[in-house]
């Protein structure tokens, strides 16, 4: 079990300054989200400024880019970082794909599965292991002249993770990917009851087990040295839960804990612009299912206790450290102690 860091993509010189600090704090990897800036360029800046820090996209939007473009980018990043780069992909939502990117969104699950499969075929062609040939319902590739291939690299193929919330995508992740990005709006019970059975079914289809399969789990934390500090960070987390929970597709995450209808209520409040009402709807009873509240000295142990039993390769991602950095430049020193606790943990029972 490792503790990782999540950040939005930044101005590239800012990323070059931040990444070494994240590495020095003891985080295992740095995951870059994609919004107004590209996650790939931030990964390049972070990778070239560090020596041991893993990095990856969490996630990069798949469909607006050809799998060939994505494969080439991932290949170069793996080479430049001595194999520290992981390719994390996701679908985004229909409105963004169609109206922001002017791309096709139909059949997003099967399309993303083919996207991953075709990238793996492209990787094999880059290495010269086989002639490029992939034929699917959504993507087909059959041309890669030598002068247009980057050629083999000394590092292994980049691992490919996808984001998943519901069972179909979780099953697909287990079947064709190396890991899964769990949504920040999660609970251990939801993951255990709904995602893990689907992931394990997918792994069985591909003749694999959980060994070697990675779960990347962003966790919202309410943490501080005083009760007032913890309360303030709880309110920030409450707003994030209200925002994510208003997406009705994610209603099963609420329903797992008996909060039926809450997603519909939040959606209606959001459409009305009643953000205060959204926050009020996420009561403390609701909130405590989806965040970890603790003092700084207890946070590492709390994270291990809450998530450590889900699988053999767990990467907990702090979802709030970037926000904390905006008001407390020294907060990484506190996270360093948390990282040390998490990184030294191994909740699995010893072999008999």
In this structure, the number of other CB atoms found within 10 A of the CB of residue 351 comes to 4
pLDDT tens for the chain, residues 1 to 352: 999 999 999 999 999 999 999 999 999 999 999 988 999 999 999 999 999 999 999 999 999 999 999 999 999 999 999 999 999 999 998 999 999 999 999 999 999 999 999 999 999 999 999 999 999 999 999 999 999 999 999 999 999 999 999 999 999 999 999 999 999 999 999 999 999 999 999 999 999 999 999 999 999 999 999 999 899 889 989 999 999 999 999 999 999 999 999 999 999 999 999 999 999 999 999 999 999 999 999 999 999 999 999 999 999 999 888 888 888 889 999 999 999 999 998 654 443 3
CA R_g for the chain:
20
Q: Which token pair is 316?
A: 């907990």
d(CA 60, CA 103) in angstroms, rounded, equals 15
Determine the distance from the C-alpha atom of residue 32 to the mean position of all C-alpha atoms in its chain, rounded to a whole number: 9
Q: Residue 323's pLDDT is what?
A: 82
Q: Which token pair is 66?
A: 């050809």
Q: Residue 352's pLDDT is what?
A: 30
Q: Residue 329's pLDDT is what?
A: 86
**Is residue 165 left, alpha or beta, with left meaning phi > 0 and alpha meaning psi from -120 to 50?**
alpha
Domain map (residue ranges) of the chain: 2-227+293-343
H helix or E strand, kind and range, residue 261: none
Residue 41 contacts residue 12 (beta carbons within 8 Å): yes
User: For 2-227+293-343, which CATH class?
Assistant: alpha beta
Determine the distance from the C-alpha atom of residue 351 to the mean position of all C-alpha atoms in its chain, rounded to a whole number: 30
The pairing of beta strand 54-57 with beta strand 85-90: parallel
- 340: helix, coil or strand? helix
d(CA 163, CA 59) in angstroms, rounded, equals 7
Q: Residue 351's pLDDT is what?
A: 36
Query: What residue has token string 């990117």?
Result: 101
d(CA 145, CA 152) in angstroms, rounded, equals 14
H helix or E strand, kind and range, residue 31: strand 29-33
Q: What is the reported pTM? A: 0.94
Q: Residue 327's pLDDT is what?
A: 84
> In angstroms, how far apart are the furthest CA atoms of the chain?
63
């Amino acid at each position: 079990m490792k503790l990782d860091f999540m950040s939005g993509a930044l101005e590239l010189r800012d990323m070059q300054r931040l990444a070494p600090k994240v590495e020095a704090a003891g985080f295992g990897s740095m995951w870059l989200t994609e919004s107004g800036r590209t996650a790939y360029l931030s990964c390049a800046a972070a990778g070239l400024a560090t020596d041991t820090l893993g990095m990856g996209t969490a996630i990069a939007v798949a469909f607006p880019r050809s799998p060939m473009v994505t494969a080439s980018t991932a290949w170069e990043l793996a080479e430049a970082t001595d194999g520290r780069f992981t390719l994390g992909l996701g679908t985004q939502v229909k409105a963004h794909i169609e109206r922001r990117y002017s791309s096709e969104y139909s059949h997003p699950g099967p399309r993303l599965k083919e996207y991953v499969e075709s990238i793996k075929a492209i990787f094999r062609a880059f290495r010269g292991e086989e002639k490029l040939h992939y034929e699917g319902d959504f993507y087909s590739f059959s041309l890669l002249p030598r002068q247009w291939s980057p050629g083999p690299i000394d590092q292994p193929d980049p691992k490919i993770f996808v984001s998943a919330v519901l069972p179909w995508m979780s099953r697909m992740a287990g079947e064709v990917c190396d890991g899964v990005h769990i949504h920040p709006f999660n609970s251990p019970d939801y993951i255990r009851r709904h995602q893990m059975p689907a992931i394990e079914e997918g792994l069985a289809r591909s003749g694999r087990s959980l060994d070697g399969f990675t779960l990347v789990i962003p966790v919202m934390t309410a943490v501080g040295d005083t009760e007032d500090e913890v309360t303030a960070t709880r309110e920030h987390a409450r707003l994030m839960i209200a925002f994510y929970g208003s997406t009705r597709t994610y209603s099963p995450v609420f329903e797992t804990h008996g909060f039926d209808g809450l997603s519909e209520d939040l959606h209606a409040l959001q459409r009305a612009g009643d953000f205060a009402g959204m926050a009020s709807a996420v009561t403390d009873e609701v909130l405590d299912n989806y965040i970890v509240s603790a003092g700084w000295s207890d946070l590492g142990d709390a994270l291990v206790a809450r998530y450590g039993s889900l699988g053999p390769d767990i990467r907990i991602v702090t979802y709030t450290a970037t926000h904390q950095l905006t008001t407390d430049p020294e907060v990484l020193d506190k996270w360093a102690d948390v990282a040390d606790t998490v990184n030294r943990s191994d909740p699995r029972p010893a072999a008999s």
